[in-house]
């Protein structure tokens, strides 16, 4: 995934350059911060590992959804193609994290915890500021 990340980062830099834009400063992501706060305190190493995998899966899934929205709604063909590639990549990352969780833990345990994370996310998602400068 690291090589892929480097390739994607180079794609972003090239697209920014082509369009006369610059990479902004990295900022804390409120969505990720909120997710991390949903981890159970004092849980086992296994429980912590499962939560980490599921948080990663959720972040990838949401990124995929945002790229899909861009791909489907932009008129610019070059950007459509650009975001389509990211959408496909994020979908595979989401599946990978979920698959890893199912490799290490029983499926019912994974799904029970996954449902916890969906409920937890739903409890705060409506309160987050809508920003147009963040995709991942």
Closer CB to Fe ion, residue 51 or residue 60? 60
Closest-approach residue to Fe ion (CB): 93
Q: Give residues in contact with Fe ion (CB under 5 A).
A: 60, 90, 93
110 close to 119: Cβ distance less than 8 angstroms: no
Instruction: Return d(Cα 67, Cα 60) in angstroms, integer.
Output: 11
Instruction: Return d(Cα 124, Cα 58) in angstroms, integer.
Output: 14
Least CB distance from residue 104 to Fe ion, whole Å?
Answer: 20
Closer CB to Fe ion, residue 66 or residue 109? 66
Closer CB to Fe ion, residue 51 or residue 90? 90
118 close to 62: Cβ distance less than 8 angstroms: no
Least CB distance from residue 3 to Fe ion, whole Å?
Answer: 13
Closer CB to Fe ion, residue 50 or residue 59? 59
Instruction: Return d(Cα 76, Cα 15) in angstroms, integer.
Output: 13
Least CB distance from residue 64 to Fe ion, whole Å?
Answer: 8
Least CB distance from residue 89 to Fe ion, whole Å?
Answer: 6
In the chain, how many H helices and how many E strands? 5, 0
Contacts of 102 (CB under 8 A, 6+ apart): 110
């Amino acid at each position: 995934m690291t090589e892929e990340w480097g390739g994607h980062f180079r794609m972003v830099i090239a697209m920014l350059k082509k369009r006369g834009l610059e990479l902004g400063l990295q900022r804390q992501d409120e969505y990720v911060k909120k997710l991390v706060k949903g981890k159970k305190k004092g849980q086992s190493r296994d429980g912590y590992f499962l939560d980490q995998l599921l948080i990663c899966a959720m972040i990838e899934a949401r990124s995929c959804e945002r790229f899909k929205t861009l791909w489907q709604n932009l008129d610019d063909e070059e950007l459509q193609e650009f975001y389509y590639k990211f959408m496909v990549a994020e979908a595979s990352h989401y599946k990978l994290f979920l698959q890893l969780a199912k490799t290490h833990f029983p499926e019912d345990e994974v799904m029970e915890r996954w449902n916890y994370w969906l409920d937890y996310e739903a409890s705060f998602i409506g309160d987050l500021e809508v920003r147009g400068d963040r995709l991942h």
